[in-house]
């Protein structure tokens, strides 16, 4: 009798008793789910790394509480996928698998054998693929679409990574009224410049004054000087021209040649071709960088609205 009871006790100890270790609204997380997750961790591609929220897979290996939080996130996102009607049909799964086999130049039997070598049955692989496709649709509509990465964001990132480089080049079309000190001396030239500036401030036409008073070759051309790009100016002139709006004139600017009053006729920004070449790549990088943050915020929001209980004594 004692032998029988001992044997029975030993057999009961060997039995795997499933337990509820958490509830997420009406869904339960079982101890068996935790054990399945632990087995998945060892298989390449079996863990959806996006749900790690920026952490490495290794952070799950020996941390049961982290594993439980991962399972809770899976339950939350599965419920949202169901609510939004994003479920992937069996027909689409078959189509996806056939296409994957074709790209790998394998028939279905060869593909099944290939994934078996990776440690997956065909049913296990279908479930992983189904989750991947469903979550991809969810991420695109709920997370990525709300990141709103603009060209300006990409431009700012480009500047940050290239602090000594100007990705945008300004092109200025300008006119001037020039006062030459070599004729009557610097003091007299400055007086003429001040008088002309006063006339401009009173509303006289820049072009008329340029034709009448400018002491250079732009006389009778409305003062038109030409088009110049960033870096082609005298620095003092470039700063003055950059500071005014199109159609406005500058204060008096002193250069080695004499005194100038400039009018900005037009301004055009030419984007550096290197930036244009890498713009989409930069935007993709910014989306990836901000994805985990946005997804983490989504989970935090959902957790606040959900009824979640964990039973840590079962761990």
Tell me the pLDDT band of 8, cut-offs 50, 70 and 90: very low
Q: What integer pLDDT is reported at residue 219 of this predicted model?
A: 65
Phi, psi for residue 170 in degrees, rounded to 5: -90, 140
The DSSP bridge partners found for residue 254 are 259
In whole angstroms, how far apart are CA 251 and each of 53, 196, 198, 221?
A: 55, 11, 10, 21
Q: Please report the pLDDT score of residue 6 as a whole number.
A: 47
- Does residue 7 carry a pLDDT above 50? no
Count of Cβ atoms closer than 10 Å to residue 123 Cβ: 8
What local confidence, expressed as pLDDT, does residue 271 receive? 74
In the predicted model, what is the mean pLDDT of residues 304-308? 93
pLDDT digits (tens, 9 = 90+) for 137-169: 999 999 988 888 888 899 889 888 877 666 567
Residue 250 makes CB contacts below 8 A (sequence gap 6+) with: 240, 241, 243, 244, 260, 261, 262, 263, 264
Alpha-helix runs per DSSP H in the chain = 2-14, 31-41, 58-61, 64-83, 90-103, 108-117, 122-138, 151-161, 181-184, 186-201, 206-213, 235-242, 273-305
Q: Which domains are assigned to the chain? A: 16-142+306-314 (1.10.4030.10), 169-271 (3.10.50.40)
Which of 113-117, 157-161, 262-266 has the lowest average pLDDT? 157-161
Give the 3-state secondary structure of 282-298.
Answer: HHHHHHHHHHHHHHHHH
Which residues have a Cβ under 8 Å from the Cβ of 35 and sit 6 or more positions away?
none
Whole-number mean pLDDT of the chain?
A: 88
pLDDT at residue 315 tops 70:
no
**Confidence (pLDDT) at 272:** 75
CA distance 50 to 40: 15
Q: What phi and psi values does residue 25 have, to the nearest 5 degrees? A: 55, -120
Per-residue model confidence as pLDDT tens digits over 60-86? 988 999 999 999 999 999 999 999 999
How far is residue 119 CA from its own chain's centroid? 35
Q: Which whole number is the average pLDDT over 114-121?
A: 92
Contacts of 19 (CB under 8 A, 6+ apart): 30, 31, 311, 314
pLDDT over 90 for what percent of the chain?
Answer: 66
- pLDDT, tens digit (0-9, with 9 covering 90-100), for 225-235: 999 988 888 88
Instruction: Supply the pLDDT for residue 300.
Output: 94
Using the Cα atoms of residue 240, residue 246, residue 251 and residue 255 in order, give the sign of their dihedral. positive
Q: How many Å apart are CA 132 and CA 143, to the nearest integer?
A: 15
Question: What are the phi and psi torsion angles at 271 (to 5°)?
Answer: -75, 135
Higher pLDDT, 254 or 270: 254
pLDDT surpasses 50 at 257: yes
pLDDT tens for each residue of 185-228: 999 999 999 999 999 999 999 999 999 999 987 667 899 999 99
Listing DSSP states for 185-198 in one string gives -HHHHHHHHHHHHH
| CA–CA separation, 279 and 275 (whole Å) | 6
In the chain, the percentage of residues whose pLDDT exceeds 70 is: 91
Contact 104, 141 (CB under 8 A): no
pLDDT of residue 54: 85
- The answer to whether residue 13 scores a pLDDT higher than 50 is no
| Residue 14 pLDDT | 46
Q: Is pLDDT of 289 > 90? A: no
């Amino acid at each position: 009798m004692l032998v029988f009871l001992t044997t029975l006790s030993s057999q009961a100890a060997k039995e795997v008793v499933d337990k509820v270790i958490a509830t997420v609204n009406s869904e339960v997380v079982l101890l068996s789910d935790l054990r399945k997750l632990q087995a998945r961790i060892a298989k390449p591609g079996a863990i959806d790394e996006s749900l790690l929220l920026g952490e490495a897979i290794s952070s799950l290996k020996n941390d049961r509480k982290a594993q439980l939080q991962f399972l809770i996130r899976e339950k939350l996102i599965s419920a949202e996928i169901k609510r939004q009607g994003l479920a992937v049909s069996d027909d689409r799964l078959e189509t996806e698998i056939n296409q994957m086999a074709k790209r790998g130049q394998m028939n279905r039997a060869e593909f099944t054998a290939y994934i078996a070598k990776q440690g997956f049955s065909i049913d296990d692989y279908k479930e992983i693929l189904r989750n991947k496709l469903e979550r991809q649709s969810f991420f695109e509509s709920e997370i990525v679409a709300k990141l709103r990465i603009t060209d300006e964001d990409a431009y700012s990132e480009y500047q940050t990574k290239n602090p000594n480089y100007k990705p945008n080049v300004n092109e200025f079309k300008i006119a001037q009224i020039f006062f030459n000190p070599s004729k009557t001396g610097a003091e007299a030239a400055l007086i003429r410049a001040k008088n002309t500036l006063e006339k401009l401030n009173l509303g006289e036409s820049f072009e008329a004054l340029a034709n009448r008073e400018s002491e250079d070759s732009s006389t009778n051309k409305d003062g038109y000087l030409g088009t110049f790009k960033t870096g082609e100016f005298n620095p003092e002139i470039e700063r003055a021209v950059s500071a005014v709006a199109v159609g406005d004139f500058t204060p008096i600017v002193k250069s080695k040649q004499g005194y100038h009053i400039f009018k900005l006729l037009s301004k055009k920004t030419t984007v550096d071709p290197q930036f244009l070449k890498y713009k989409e790549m930069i935007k993709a990088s910014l989306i990836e960088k901000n994805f985990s943050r946005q997804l983490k915020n989504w989970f935090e929001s959902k957790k606040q609205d959900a009824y979640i209980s964990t039973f840590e004594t079962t761990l």
